[in-house]
Chains A and B, each alone.
Chain A
């Protein structure tokens, strides 16, 4: 066993230098030069240059004039420094209560429409930036009312932001909530 100690120490030292420093720093260097936008978190900025969020990370929305994201189990909701799912099992009573409360509230907002599952379930990360196209359209009447716009105009913004499946079958169709809300603000400035 003792004869193995020197190669074990020496190889671990070299591996640490090569794989623990050399490899990640080399990738970081290439990433920062070649793809700085992605490498720094796909950040979005407003006209003044302030970071308003990341294209990949969901953020909380509660105002009626914005599309709302899914419920979130990350921190107190969309805490992008504490990602988490609810981890609730299918028979968890707190889950049943939460789903029912959320569904009842949504039914008041848009009576008669089918409530999509993603509207009342938390995502795996708690940071899901997307909702289903069905949930986006479900919210369109509320957004239109709050902004004093014809429904068709809001739906047109949503439809333009629907991302389809890759090659028609990979992944799911989706709508990025932040993208739609930024588009709404840009097209229909508040008070306008």
Chain B
């Protein structure tokens, strides 16, 4: 560890919040239908969408109608992705000559990209044609991110409504977020990334004749355009198997900084947008502070673990100051540590180093940050929505302690809200622990593992955590492209996505119908240090305690084994 490393981590985390702040104002204007400077170009395109869809963007939907539209849109997306992947072999723009994907892999991949998880049971450069990468995967990168954003926009409207009915129009939120936020930012970022070295071509690759006279086949794709939305949309599914560790997806320390910041920037922007839209900037800033404290602690801990002595290096009497297995030389421990925390704290799931080769507590921290519910800052909009759920639970707990009816942002929190809040956060433990428990005793599942013992359990636990949290990163030793894994991970992804979405929208419907209250002397302030502390406590207890027994059998046991192995080798 050195000051340069800490400075790099602090800069990466800090820049994302700093850029997310002003972008949040812009995002809020987009959700509210206010004028933006892109209107002259984009208004006609937006109008075309509404005309083709036959919808009136000004017509506010009930939470039920909003949720129905969201689910219908996602269902159509799922069918389209599934069909294209199955038919890949006979479709054009397939210079690689790849065949169609199997039924279970197509199912898994379609659910994965529609739910913004971007878990990849396949290796990109040996499976996906240029057409599949562009036509279905890139498109879902955009619209799955926008889908997540819509629930924050709907929830924000519920908090400012006074005995209202509607939570907004799903189609307007979807189209406006995609056109005004995601598309222009991705376009600019993609061009910058090409300038900094990322390939962008329709060719399948070239064959190089190396200095020692061998042939090296180098795969190429339209990388930059997918990379930009992969980061900004908090998607994480890479073109190549090695994801952002691949030099074409992350050529230099500068591209690493830019893409790492891009992971979090729109997640934070959605926090600030929510604050502006509900006229409660101070309260939402408190949520940003709480999330930043947890995220920074996570990144710091991973930096510490990755500079501990790795047993294989100690035993071979090699310099063991950094655990370099699975890391790129240009990135090293600090850039990898910051990325590990950011990609798991947000529901991104890209990797710039292999998580399976992290030290046990580094890999454990990656899982733990996902267990917290993808709120640091999570996905675009889905992150702030679940964070608000955490805040609702916090004021409820505080209300129980002092015996008052809890309120949050001017709305009374009553039994229905608390029930829905718990439903929203229940998917992660139920699907993660439930499926992991079954897989741990099922021969068909265990066949896919690379490791036995605690690291093997971590492979299982990581896979279901990542799927349910809609993260998508992996302990990639696991061979997941088999019927059991593809099917159950697909179900876990769908549960982890749509259970919270429906619960949050139902909560929005319930909140919208309530009168907006002015704060009274009995209202618990939800912007000070006390509340931040309480919120962090609730997040850690909800996320941490449920998973602690499972983590104890995986990464924590392995940690003590590592300490033993290192002591023996000395």
Contact = CB atoms under 8 A, between A and B. Distances in A.
A170 B5 CA distance: 8
Interface string A103-143: 11000000000111111111111111111101000000000
Interface string A3-30: 0111111111111101111011011101
Contact of B212 (A62, A99, A182): A62
B408 to A, nearest CB: 31
Interface in A34-57: 34-35, 38-43, 50-54, 56-57
Of B247, B319, B458, chain A has the most CB atoms within 10 Å of the CB of B247
A166 B562 contact: no
B318 A115 contact: yes
Interface residues of A, number: 104
Nearest to B194: A31
B183 interface: yes
Nearest to B256: A171
A32 B201 CA distance: 7
A96 interface: yes
A178 interface: yes
A78 B315 contact: no
Contacts of B252: 166, 171
A91 B72 contact: no
B312 interface: yes
Contacts of A122: 325-326
Interface in B52-87: 52-55, 68-69, 71-73, 75-77, 80
Nearest to B76: A8
Contact of B52 (A11, A16, A42, A43): A11
Contacts of A42: 197, 199, 251
B135 A125 contact: no
A159 interface: no
Interface stretch (B171-179, B292-300, B367-375): B171-179
B254 A117 contact: no
A74 B217 CA distance: 12
Interface in A76-93: 78-92
Contacts of B248: 41, 56-57
B194 A86 contact: no
A14 B7 contact: no
A70 B318 contact: no
B426 interface: no
B138 A60 contact: no
B289 interface: no
A187 interface: no
10 contacts: A7-B69, A35-B195, A38-B196, A53-B216, A56-B247, A80-B216, A85-B356, A88-B357, A124-B245, A182-B211
Closest 6 CB pairs of A and B: A171-B253, A124-B245, A7-B53, A4-B72, A85-B354, A83-B242
Given A60-B210, A79-B217, A87-B354, 11 more contacts: A1-B72, A20-B139, A81-B218, A82-B123, A83-B245, A85-B476, A89-B477, A91-B561, A95-B312, A169-B5, A172-B253
